[in-house]
Amino acid sequence: MEVHFRWTVVVLALFAGFEASATSLDFTRSSGKVSVLERDFEGIVLSVTAKRRGRNADVTGNRGGLGVNGGVSHFQSWGREKMVFSFTEAVNLSYLTFDSMTWNDWSGEDKVRYSDSRGISVLLKGSNWRWDLGAEGITSFTLEAKGFLTSTFIADIDVEPVPLPSAAWLFLSAILGGASLARARSSAV
Residues 6+ positions from 163 with CB-CB distance below 8 Å:
19, 20
134 and 189 both lie in a single domain: no
Taking 3-state DSSP, the helix, strand and coil percentages for the chain, each rounded to the nearest 5, stand at 20, 45, 35
CB of 160 closer than 8 Å to CB of 43? no
Q: What is the pTM of this model?
A: 0.77
Same domain, yes or no, for 107 and 120? yes
Q: In the prediction, which pLDDT does 107 show? A: 64
Identify whether residues 98 and 112 lie together within a single domain. Answer: yes
* Rounded-to-integer distance, Cα 59 and Cα 101, Å: 19
Q: Is the pLDDT of residue 58 over 50?
A: yes
Query: Is the pLDDT score of 72 beyond 70?
Result: no
E strand or H helix at 13, and its extent? helix 2-16
* Average pLDDT of the residues in 55-82: 82
Confidence of residue 85 (pLDDT cuts 50, 70, 90): very high
Span of 53-57, 66-70, 111-115, 145-149 with lowest mean pLDDT: 145-149
Residues 115 and 169 in one domain: no
Same domain for 50 and 61, yes or no, is: yes
Q: Are residues 168 and 148 in the same domain?
A: no
Q: Is 6 in the same domain as 76?
A: no
In the DSSP assignment, the letter for residue 2 is H
Q: Cα separations (Å) of 176 from 4, 5, 134, 172, 182? A: 10, 9, 34, 6, 10
Percent of the chain predicted with pLDDT > 70? 71
Using only C-alpha atoms, the chain has a radius of gyration, in whole angstroms, of: 23
Q: Give the CA distances from residue 68 to residues 6, 71, 172, 178, in Å, rounded to whole numbers and listed in that order.
A: 56, 9, 46, 55
Any idea what the CATH number is for the domain that residue 86 is in? 2.60.120
Residue 40 pLDDT: 93
184 in the same domain as 149: no
* 3-class state of residue 17 by DSSP: coil
Does one domain contain both 114 and 178? Answer: no
Residues 119 and 175 grouped into a single domain = no
Give the DSSP letter string of 109-175. --EEEEEETTS-EEEEESS--EEEEEEEEEEEEEEEEESSS-EE-EEEEEEEEPPPPHHHHHHHHHH
| Separation between Cα atoms, residue 111 and residue 120, nearest integer Å | 16
Q: Which helix (H) or strand (E) holds 10?
A: helix 2-16
Give residue 164's pLDDT band: very low, low, confident or very high (50, 70, 90). Answer: low
Residues 144 and 177 in one domain: no
Q: What is the pLDDT of residue 145?
A: 87
What's the chain's average pLDDT?
A: 80
CA distance 81 to 56: 10
Question: Distance between CA 75 and CA 112 in Å, rounded?
Answer: 9
Range of the domain at 107: 21-162
Residues 5 and 50 reside in one and the same domain: no
Task: Provide the domain count of the chain.
Answer: 2
